[in-house]
């Protein structure tokens, strides 16, 4: 059943008070809660202990839970994930931090050939409750290898679950749900949104980890996004409303699996779909969404499904990244093209 963000917020508030905090703090509180609730939860990564992480997501956890549960590792991503696989085999629930998106590739072999395959290899007798946290995306003026969006590479791999929150409440709850999951979860955190504040309902019943939500209801066209691009799409919907256009924004939240039912219900109401992500359009998640919705809802579409995303090129130097990143103008241009049909 489709759930709007407004309905989710109302349900959360009816279950208890909310607290305003940035996404970074929500992630920190979520990790703290997980460590308190389950002694088998461990945090591992480069500088996650004494320093508290380069983005301070693990700040204070080393002091409160000790070096046996918040573990500073060597600069060896393959070794970090490989160790997490072994710990999961021994009954632990490791939460691994990859310091920046571009640093994950040395660990890619461990993730796709061991972490993703172990459950099937053992004929279901082995579980891999491992979370790999990856700050991803651009917009922070960083150097090379610090602004990638590799989510499609992981969503393509059977055996992995891939999710990305767009707001503080989802960051708080989705990370706890990922840690509680018995399957490996790649948890992509939109790093340029770390300091965006939002209301967090710490006593609420959360939305399902892999359920999309309607962040903004509308009637003329559907915008589908996840992670850092949800904010841009909400801004686009507000700008379009000034011109008398009603855009519906669907926050996908999960990339593997994808809640196609919520997307389909929205598209069959509006008749138009634009998919937006920061990653390159070429072979991006938007291609799969466009294909599936075209198959499912062909006779409801009033226009071709359009995609907005990054260019098929290496991520540029910081001084050029605003030209690379999809922004309000590029989203509204796609909206104009779709509504012109």
Residue 3 has pLDDT above 90, yes or no: no
Q: What is the pLDDT of residue 42?
A: 98
Per-residue pLDDT at 9 exceeds 50: no
Q: What percentage of the chain exceeds 90 in pLDDT?
A: 94
The string of pLDDT tens digits covering residues 235-279 is 999 999 999 999 999 999 999 999 999 999 999 999 999 999 999
CA–CA dist 35, 42 (Å, integer): 7
Kindly indicate the confidence band of residue 12, based on its pLDDT and cuts at 50, 70 and 90.
Answer: very low
User: What are the φ/ψ torsions at residue 129 (nearest 5 degrees)?
Assistant: -80, 70
Q: Is the pLDDT of residue 13 over 70?
A: no
The string of DSSP codes covering 127-158 is: ----EEEEEE-S-S---TTSS---HHHHHTST
Whole-angstrom distance between the N-terminal and C-terminal Cα of the chain? 30
pLDDT at 120 over 80: yes
Cα–Cα distances (Å) from 66 to 93, 161, 187, 298, in that order, read: 16, 29, 24, 56
For 226-233, what is the mean pLDDT? 98
pLDDT per position as a tens digit, 159-200: 999 999 999 999 999 999 999 999 999 999 999 999 999 999
Question: What was the pLDDT predicted at 184?
Answer: 98
CB of 135 closer than 8 Å to CB of 104: no
Query: Domains of the chain, with CATH numbers?
Result: 17-200 (3.40.50.970), 213-339 (3.40.50.920)
Burial class (CB in 10 A: 0-12, 13-18, 19+), 158: exposed
pLDDT digits (tens, 9 = 90+) for 275-289: 999 999 999 999 999
Q: Which residues are catalytic?
A: 146
Which pLDDT does position 17 carry in this prediction? 83
Query: Would you call the peptide bond into 62 cis, given omega within 30 degrees of 0 as the criterion?
Result: no
pLDDT tens sequence across 196-216 = 999 999 998 999 999 999 999
Q: Which pair of tokens denotes residue 297?
A: 């809802």
Q: What is the pTM of this model?
A: 0.94
Cβ neighbours for 5, distance < 8 A, ≥ 6 positions apart: 213, 214, 215, 216, 251
Beta-carbon contacts of 288 under 8 Å, excluding residues fewer than 6 positions away, are 258
């Amino acid at each position: 059943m489709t759930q709007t963000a407004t309905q989710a917020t109302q349900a959360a508030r009816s279950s208890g008070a909310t607290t305003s905090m940035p996404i970074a703090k929500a992630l920190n509180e979520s990790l703290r809660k997980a460590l308190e609730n389950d002694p088998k939860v461990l945090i591992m990564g480069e500088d996650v202990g004494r320093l508290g992480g380069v983005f301070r997501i693990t700040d204070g956890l080393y002091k409160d839970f000790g070096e046996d549960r918040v573990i500073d590792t060597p600069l060896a991503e393959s070794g970090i994930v490989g160790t997490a696989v072994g710990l999961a085999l021994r009954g632990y629930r490791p939460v691994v931090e990859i310091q920046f998106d571009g640093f994950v590739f040395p660990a890619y072999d461990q993730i796709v050939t061991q972490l993703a395959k172990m459950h099937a290899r053992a004929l279901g007798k082995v579980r891999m409750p491992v979370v790999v946290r990856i700050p991803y995306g651009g917009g922070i003026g960083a150097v090379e290898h610090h602004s990638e969006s590799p989510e499609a590479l992981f969503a393509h791999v059977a055996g992995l679950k891939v999710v990305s929150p767009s707001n503080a409440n989802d960051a708080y709850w989705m990370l706890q749900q990922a840690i509680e999951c018995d399957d490996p979860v790649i948890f992509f955190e939109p790093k340029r949104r770390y300091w965006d504040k939002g209301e967090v309902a710490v006593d609420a019943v959360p939305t399902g980890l892999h359920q999309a939500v309607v962040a903004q209801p509308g009637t003329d066209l559907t915008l589908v996004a996840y992670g850092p691009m949800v904010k841009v799409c909400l801004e686009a919907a507000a700008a379009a409303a000034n011109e008398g256009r009603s855009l519906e924004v669907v926050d996908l939240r999960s990339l593997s699996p994808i809640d196609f039912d919520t997307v389909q219900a929205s598209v069959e109401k509006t008749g138009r779909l634009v998919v937006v992500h920061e990653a390159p359009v070429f072979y991006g998640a938007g291609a799969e969404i466009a294909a599936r919705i075209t198959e499912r809802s062909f006779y409801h579409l009033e226009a071709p499904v359009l995609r907005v995303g990054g260019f098929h090129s290496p991520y540029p130097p910081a001084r050029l990244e605003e030209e690379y990143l999809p922004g309000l103008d590029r989203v509204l241009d796609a909206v104009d093209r779709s509504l012109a049909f």
